[in-house]
Amino acid sequence: MNFGSSNISIRIKFDSNKGSACFYTVLSESQLPESLQDVKVYIPYESAELCIAQIVQDIEVMKKKHLEMVQEMEENFQLTAQKTQKWLVQRVRSHYLNKLNTVRRMLDLYQERVEKNKADWEKKAAGLAEQNQQLLEERRAERRKNEEEALQWQREKSKMLELFSSRMDVLHCHQASTLQELQMARQEIGKVQEMMASQQQQEATEENENSDKENMAQQQTMTCSGSDQPLEGANARLEELKENLYQREREITELLKAERTPVPPVPQPPCSILLPAVIHKAHIVCCAVSETQRLLDQMIEDNRAALAEARDKLNHLQNEKQNRNDGEESRDQDGSNESSLTFLQETVREYEVCQIALDYIKSGESLATNDCEISELEDVLGQEAVQTPNKVKGVGQQLLLLQDQLKQEKDEKKKIIENYTSERAMRKKYYNMVEEMKGKIRVFCRIRPVNRSEVAQGGGVVVEKSDDHSVNVETPRGPREFQFDKVFSAESTQEDLFQDTNRLIQLVIDGYNVCIFAYGQTGSGKTFTMVGDKDQKNPGIMPRSFNAIFDLMRENSPRFDFKVSAYMLELYNDRLQDLLVSQAGEASAQTQAHGPARRVEIKRNRKGVVFAQGAETKEASSAQELYALFQQACASRHISATKMNVESSRSHLIVGIMVESKNLTNGSVSTGKLSLVDLAGSERAAKTGVKDHQLKEANSINKSLSALGDVISALSAELPHVPYRNSKLTQVMQDSLGGNAKTLMIVNVSPSECNLDETLTSLIYATRVKAITNNAQRNVDSKEIAQLKEVIMRLKSGQAVEDVDV
Ligand SMILES: Nc1ncnc2c1ncn2[C@@H]1O[C@H](COP(=O)(O)OP(=O)(O)OP(=O)(O)O)[C@@H](O)[C@H]1O
C-alpha cells in the first residue's frame, strides 16, 4: 500500500482462534518471518473497511514513532558530532600549547644565553674601561715624571748658563779695563790735539812779525823742523790710537751684541749640545778680543801649573799612603790622610775638566766631531759628581742619563699611545657590538672626494677621518669630532663599504627585517653609495646585495628552499609610485578598466612590519633577474640636473626584497625583508638653483626629510608620541626607525669647506639616529602555521584547499 511518500507493505494474518478477525504489521518484507510472508486473507467488505481504517490509524502511529526515532537519532548524531569537535579542538589546542611552551622554553634559554653574553660583554667592556683608566693613570704619571724631568733639565741648563755668565763676567771685567784704557787714550789724543792747536797759534803770531825776518825765518825753520817731528809723531800716535779705539769699540760692540743675543729656547739641551755651544761662544769671544786670548793663555798656563802641582801632591800623598800601609800607621792619621787624598783627587779632576774645556775654547774645535772626547769630558764630569755630591753635579753624565731616560720615556710614551689607540679602537668596536646587541641603529659615515666645482670654489678640506670610528670637522669655532660605527674616507672603495654591510644580508636570509638607507645633502654621494655610478663600474650596495642574497641562497640550498620577490617604489612629490609598473601600461589598464588608478598604500602587519599594499611584487630566480627589475625601476625614476648635481635624484627610492626560506628539515618558514632606501638629498633652493616644478619637488623633498628629522628627534629623546604619520616617507620607514628591523644608516658628507653647514647638520642628524633602539625579531613560522597561512592564502584567492594535516 502507498501511504504518502512511504511504501508500506501490509501483511494480514489469519487467527484461527478468533474466526474471521485479523491483525497486521507494517514491517518491510524482509523483516517478516518467512511463514508469515505472502499470507492472503479474504474478509467481508465492512470488516475490510474497518480493518483498513484501523490499519491506517496504526500506520499513522507507526509513522509518528518512526519520525520520533529519526529525530532522536539526529539529536544523538549532533551531540556526538559536537563532542567530537570539542575533543578535536582540545587536542589541537593542547598540541599548540605544548609547542608554544617548547618555543617559550627555547626563547627563555635563548634569552638566558643572550643575557649571559651581554653580561660577559659588559664585563669585558668594564675590564677594558678599567684597563683604559689604568693606562690613563700611567700616562698621567708619565706626564708628571716628564714634567719633573723637564724641570731638572731646566735647572741643569741654568747651571750651565751660570757657568757661562761667570765667564762672561770675566770678559766684562776685561772690557771695563779696555774701556779705561780707551778713555786714557782719548785723553792723550785730546792733549796731542791741544798741543797741535797751540803750535798753530804760535805760527800765526810769528808770521805777523816783519823784522828780523830772515833770522827769524831761519829760527822759525829750525823750530818748525823741531816741532814738525813731535807733530808727525803725535799724528802717527793719534792715528794709532784712533785705530785702536775703533778696534776696541768694534770688539765691545760685538761682545755686547753677543751678550744681548738671547739664548735659543732649547727646552732640554743635552750635554752634547750645550757644551759645544758654550765652547763655541767662548772661542768666538777669544778670537774677537786679543786681550781675552792672552787671558785664556794665561788661564791655560795657570791651570796646567796648578794641575801639575795637584798631581805631584796627589802622587806624593799616594806614595806616602803606600808606605804607611807597609809600615802600619795609626788609624787616626789614616783617616785624615784619606780625606786629604780624596780632596786632592777632586782637585785634580777639577783641573783636568778645566783643562779640557780651556783647550777646546782655545782651539775652537767642535766637540760634536769628537764623540770620544765628549764622553771623556762627560765621564770626568760624571765621576766628579759621584765623588762630590754636594758640589756641582756631574752635568755631563746627568745630561747623558737624562737623555737616555728621555729616549726611554719617548719609546714608552709611543708604546702607550699605540696601546691606547688600539685599545680605544677595540673599546669602540666592543661598545658598538654591545650597542648593536641592544638593538641600536648602526651609523656609518662616508666622506666623498672633493669634486671639480668645490675645487673651483677654492674652499679647503675641512672634513677628515681621524680614525676608523671618528670624523673630524674643522669649524670656525675650532675642531669638532663625531663618532660613528665606521667612518669611510674619500679613498674607501665601494668594496670596502660593502664588506661591512654584507653581514646584514645574512640576517635577511635568517628571517630578519633589514633596512639600509643613505642620508645626506644633495650631491654628497647617496646614489653613488646605494646604486653606484652610471656605467656600473663601481656598483653600490643595491646591486651588490642582489648578488650577495643569491650567493647565500646557493650556499644554503641543501637545507633550505628559497623564494625571492621584490617591489620597487619611489616617493615623488609625496606620492608613492610603483616603479615596476610602467606609467604607460598603468594608464592603458586604467582606460580599459575605467576604474580608479591603482593606489599603493603603506600598511603594517600584526608584527609591525611595513608592506606596500597594491604594489606589484615580482619574483626573481637569479641575481640577474633581480637586477633587470631594478634597472627597469631606475629607468622610471625621477632624476634631473641641478646646480649641485648633474644627476640629482628628485625622489626617494625604496626597494623591498622579500626572501622566504623554508627549512627542509623541520618545515619552518622564515621571511626576511631587505629595504634599501636612497633618499633624495636635503637641499637649499638658492644653492641648487631650482625653479618652477623643481622647486615644488625640492619643497616636497625637504618636507618629507623634515618629517623624518622629527621622527628621529622624538625617538632619540624617547618621547611617548612619534609622529610617523606626518609623511609617507616616515610611514615607509616606520619599521626601520624604532621598529622591528635591523637598520644601518649611511650618512654621506662632502669634505669641502663650502658645504660645511650642511655637513654639520647631516652629522648632528646622524648622531641622533645612533641613539635610536630597534627591536628586531625573526619572522619565522612553524611548519603547521606556515601550512595554515598557505590555506588561508589559497582560500582568499578562491583556490581549492586539500585536507590539511596539522
Ligand atoms: N665616494 C665617491 N667616489 C667617487 N665619486 C663619488 C663618490 N661619491 C659621490 N661621487 C660622485 O659625486 C656625484 C654626486 O653623487 P650622487 O649623485 O651620488 O649624490 P647624491 O647624494 O645622490 O645627490 P642627490 O641627492 O642630488 O641625488 C656623482 O657624480 C658621483 O659619481
Residue 520 Cβ contacting ligand 1 at under 6 Å: yes
User: In terms of Cα–Cα distance, which of 630, 432, 638 is closest to 549?
Assistant: 630
Q: Does the CA dihedral 379-384-387-393 come out positive or negative?
A: negative
Question: Tens digits of per-residue pLDDT, 237-291?
Answer: 666 666 766 676 666 566 555 544 544 444 444 455 556 666 777 777 777 666 6
Kindly state the percentage of the chain with pLDDT values over 70. 67
Residue 448 Cβ contacting ligand 1 at under 6 Å: yes
Q: Does the CA dihedral 80-84-87-93 come out positive or negative?
A: negative
For residue 446, give the ligand 1 atom closest to its CA. Answer: 1
- Going from the Cα of 497 to the center of ligand 1, the distance in angstroms, rounded, reads 15
- Going from the Cα of 399 to the center of ligand 1, the distance in angstroms, rounded, reads 58
Enumerate the known binding-site residues. Answer: 520-527
Is the pLDDT higher at 568 or at 295? 568
Tell whether the model's pLDDT for residue 152 goes beyond 70.
yes
pLDDT of residue 393: 42
Which range is most confident: 43-47, 77-81, 218-222, 319-323? Answer: 77-81
- Going from the Cα of 527 to the center of ligand 1, the distance in angstroms, rounded, reads 6
Question: Tens digits of per-residue pLDDT, 752-784?
Answer: 998 899 899 999 989 988 888 888 777 777 666
- Going from the Cα of 432 to the center of ligand 1, the distance in angstroms, rounded, reads 28
Global pTM reads 0.51
Least confident of 74-88, 116-130, 171-185: 171-185
Task: List Cα–Cα distances, 356 to 280, 309, 393, in angstroms.
Answer: 14, 17, 18
pLDDT of residue 522: 87
What's the complex ipTM? 0.97
User: In terms of Cα–Cα distance, which of 193, 293, 173 is closest to 239?
Assistant: 193
For residue 451, give the ligand 1 atom closest to its CA. Answer: 12
* Residue 432 amino acid letter: N
Pairwise CA distance, residues 21 & 15, whole Å: 7
Least confident of 391-405, 632-646, 652-666, 674-688: 391-405
The whole-number average pLDDT for the span 590-614 is 71
C-beta neighbour count of 555 within 10 angstroms: 12
Task: List Cα–Cα distances, 675 to 357, 590, 634, 641, 672, in angstroms.
Answer: 81, 29, 16, 27, 10
pLDDT of residue 11: 54
Question: Tens digits of per-residue pLDDT, 308-320?
Answer: 888 888 888 888 8
Q: Are 306 and 351 in contact (CB under 8 A)?
A: yes
Question: Tens digits of per-residue pLDDT, 508-531?
Answer: 998 888 999 999 998 899 999 999
For residue 647, give the ligand 1 atom closest to its CA. Answer: 17
Quickly list DSSP for 469-505: TEEEEEETTEEEEEE-SEEE-TT--HHHHHHHHHHHH
Q: Which three cell numbers stand for residue 52?
A: 483498513
Q: Which three cell numbers stand for residue 792?
A: 588561508
pLDDT of residue 595: 46
Q: Are 737 and 712 in contact (CB under 8 A)?
A: yes
| H or E, element range at 744 | strand 742-749
- Going from the Cα of 579 to the center of ligand 1, the distance in angstroms, rounded, reads 22
Quickly list DSSP for 34-61: GGGTT------HHHHHHHHHHHHHHHHH
* Residue 713 amino acid letter: S
Q: Where are the alpha helices (DSSP H) in 514-568?
A: 526-530, 541-556
Tell whether the model's pLDDT for residue 394 goes beyond 80.
no
Which architecture does CATH list for 443-796?
A: 3-Layer(aba) Sandwich (3.40)
Residue 750 Cβ contacting ligand 1 at under 6 Å: no
pLDDT of residue 142: 85
Pairwise CA distance, residues 266 & 156, whole Å: 12
For residue 748, give the ligand 1 atom closest to its CA. Answer: 21
In sequence order, what are the residues at sequence separation of 6 or more whose Cβ sits closer than 8 angstroms to the Cβ of residue 679?
517, 518, 519, 526, 652, 705, 708, 729
Pairwise CA distance, residues 786 & 58, whole Å: 61
Is the pLDDT higher at 75 or at 369? 75
pLDDT of residue 31: 53
Q: Are 447 and 752 in contact (CB under 8 A)?
A: no
Tell whether the model's pLDDT for residue 435 goes beyond 50.
yes
For residue 688, give the ligand 1 atom closest to its CA. Answer: 26
- Going from the Cα of 769 to the center of ligand 1, the distance in angstroms, rounded, reads 22
Tell whether the model's pLDDT for residue 19 goes beyond 50.
no
Strand pairing partners for 781?
A: 669
Q: Are 442 and 485 in contact (CB under 8 A)?
A: yes
Which of 448, 453, 537, 570 to mutate for ligand 1's pocket (most ligand atoms within 8 Å of CB)? 448
Q: Are 446 and 746 in contact (CB under 8 A)?
A: yes
In sequence order, what are the residues at sequence separation of 6 or more whose Cβ sits closer than 8 angstroms to the Cβ of residue 379?
396, 397
CA atoms within a 13 Å half-sphere pointing along the CA-CB vector of 355: 16
Residue 650 Cβ contacting ligand 1 at under 6 Å: no
Chain-wide mean pLDDT for the chain? 76
User: In terms of Cα–Cα distance, which of 287, 288, 286, 312 is closest to 299?
Assistant: 286
- Minimal-distance CA residue to ligand 1 atom 2: 448
- Going from the Cα of 784 to the center of ligand 1, the distance in angstroms, rounded, reads 48
